[in-house]
Amino acid sequence: MSQYIGRLGRRSPAAPPRLRLHRRPRRVAMLSVHTSPLHQPGTGDAGGMNVYIVELARRLAAINIEVEIFTRATAGGLPPSVQLAPGVLVRHVDAGPYEGLAKEELPAQLCAFTHGVMQAWAGHRPGHYDLVHSHYWLSGHVGWLAAQRWGVPLVHAMHTMAKVKNASLADGDTPEPAARVIGETQIVAAADRLIANTDEEAGELVRHYDADPAKVAVVHPGVNLERFTPGDGRAAARARLGLPQDALIPLFAGRIQPLKAPDVLLRAVAVLLDRHPELRSRILVPVVGGPSGSGLAKPEGLQKLAARLGIADVVRFRPPVDQDRLADWFRAASVLVMPSYSESFGLVAIEAQASGTPVLAARVGGLPVAVRDGRTGVLVQGHDPAAYARVLHDFAADPTLTDRMGAAAAAHARAFGWEASAAATAEVYTAALHAHRRRVRSLHG
């Protein structure tokens, strides 16, 4: 899609080379209303977006772009601000009750959140923030107002889109409300630049939301290549986690909700063991994560499903873990399984591959970019458990498949460092600043 202005840091012909001559922003106000970058990924509403914001902010600060992240306070007694890293400040904003507030109830708190952001801004000299970068549609509405009030450009990242999610709902999942669709449409029209994870997401912004292609930039998310590495190998990781050395270990890691489809993995394992009962003694299925979204309505649903399928003896449920421990789970696995119904990119797919583990995933969203089908993993069309069972059997039948694909996966992931993502994002900021100044000049003759 050559009409989009950026792609993984490589400038397309549509973007004038002279944009490089314009200055980068000195300080960015980053907005993450509904989930804090300080929260543990894998539970509640914390997930890939949290990792994205933390890693991107760190790398932007490393290239001299200071970042202040505004997020809603979810506990009493939190300090007004926390230094996350040199050049990265997290600001807690009081907006609504600290606990028990579902994401669906947050639109009613956007006014209070905006007030808190404006209070912080009022304590600074004019021109303190050069640009607003909002994440997810809730933040986009606050960013829209803040950018207009401060006279700076708005850069927005959707992360997920209501129309895309509603087009591929899991059974029993709740559709995104019309209010979100309307809100996203307004943000797309208001933003100076939109950052998409992949060419496919960029196309969805244009098709579903009538985005101006000239305002859409494609920047792939990254992976922390210092943390997610093959390390000292699969055997050592399994020893540290107390896992059997010779087992087939298909891993699910992430938020437990219908959208992520962990049930497809369990059903696939049931099919596999029905067809190949001899594998029962050498298969272990870890599910690492906590309930989230509509999964909160039935937090024990996956455990009950494992019991109904007759595979509770081979499934191990584990709570969310920190990033270093997660890297060990990736290293220990035979294959990471991601049967999601929708993924804007799928950060855990790149993290697992960087750790030397192949990925078995649904062919949806950004996963065909994250995973090289047949080389670093396997992509499955649809969500038929039998199709996933067949691939799992391939890994069981050929113990060398994990190592062969895993080596290719680690090499593939090395192209996705966060430094490249930050550099490309900085170019989007520069383009947004230039376009904004040009528009302001034209308005004032």
Q: Provide mean pLDDT across the span 379-383.
A: 97
308: CB partners within 8 A, 6+ apart = none
The token pair that represents 368 in the structure block: 């065909």
Find tokens 């107002």 and name the residue: 145
4 is in an annotated binding site: no
46 is in an annotated binding site: yes
103 is in an annotated binding site: yes
- The pTM score is 0.85
The token pair that represents 28 in the structure block: 């960015």
- Give percent of the chain above pLDDT 90: 74
With a cut of 80, say whether residue 4 has pLDDT above it: no
Confidence of residue 293 (pLDDT cuts 50, 70, 90): low
The token pair that represents 65 in the structure block: 């772009």
135-160 pLDDT, tens digit per residue, is 999 999 999 999 999 999 999 999 98
Confidence of residue 295 (pLDDT cuts 50, 70, 90): very low
Angle between helices 178-190 and 136-150 (to 10 degrees): 40
Cβ atoms of residues 325 and 293 within 8 Å: no
Whole-angstrom distance, CA of residue 234 vs CA of residue 380? 25
With a cut of 50, say whether residue 9 has pLDDT above it: no
16 is in an annotated binding site: no
Question: How many angstroms separate the Cα of 112 from the Cα of each of 70, 144, 342, 372?
Answer: 13, 15, 31, 44
According to DSSP, the residues that pair with 71 across neighbouring strands are 32, 92
229 is in an annotated binding site: no
- How many CA atoms, within 13 angstroms, populate the side-chain half-sphere of residue 11? 14
Rg (CA), the chain: 22
With a cut of 50, say whether residue 420 has pLDDT above it: yes
Q: Which amino acid is at 426?
A: A
234-269 pLDDT, tens digit per residue, is 999 999 999 999 999 999 999 888 889 999 999 999
Question: How many angstroms separate the Cα of 411 from the Cα of each of 99, 369, 373?
Answer: 42, 14, 14
345-373 pLDDT, tens digit per residue, is 889 999 999 999 999 999 998 999 999 99
With a cut of 50, say whether residue 16 has pLDDT above it: no
40 is in an annotated binding site: yes
With a cut of 60, say whether residue 12 has pLDDT above it: no
Q: Provide mean pLDDT across the span 167-176.
A: 83
Which is more confidently placed, 336 or 46? 336
Q: What average pLDDT does the chain have?
A: 90
308-317 pLDDT, tens digit per residue, is 999 999 999 9
pLDDT of residue 286: 97
pLDDT of residue 97: 87
34 is in an annotated binding site: yes
Where is average pLDDT lowest: 28-37, 142-151, 170-179, 292-301? 292-301
160 is in an annotated binding site: yes
431: CB partners within 8 A, 6+ apart = 5, 6, 15, 19, 193, 217
45 is in an annotated binding site: yes
Pairing of strands 10-11, 6-7: antiparallel
Q: Provide mean pLDDT across the span 294-318.
A: 84
Which is more confidently placed, 176 or 103? 176
425 is in an annotated binding site: no
pLDDT of residue 138: 95
136 is in an annotated binding site: yes
439 is in an annotated binding site: no
330 is in an annotated binding site: yes
pLDDT of residue 58: 96
pLDDT of residue 10: 38
Confidence of residue 340 (pLDDT cuts 50, 70, 90): very high
401-410 pLDDT, tens digit per residue, is 999 999 999 9
106-127 pLDDT, tens digit per residue, is 899 999 999 999 999 988 888 9
371 is in an annotated binding site: no
With a cut of 70, say whether residue 387 has pLDDT above it: yes
Cβ atoms of residues 141 and 187 within 8 Å: yes
pLDDT of residue 8: 41
Angle at 34 between CA 73 and CA 294, to 5 degrees: 125
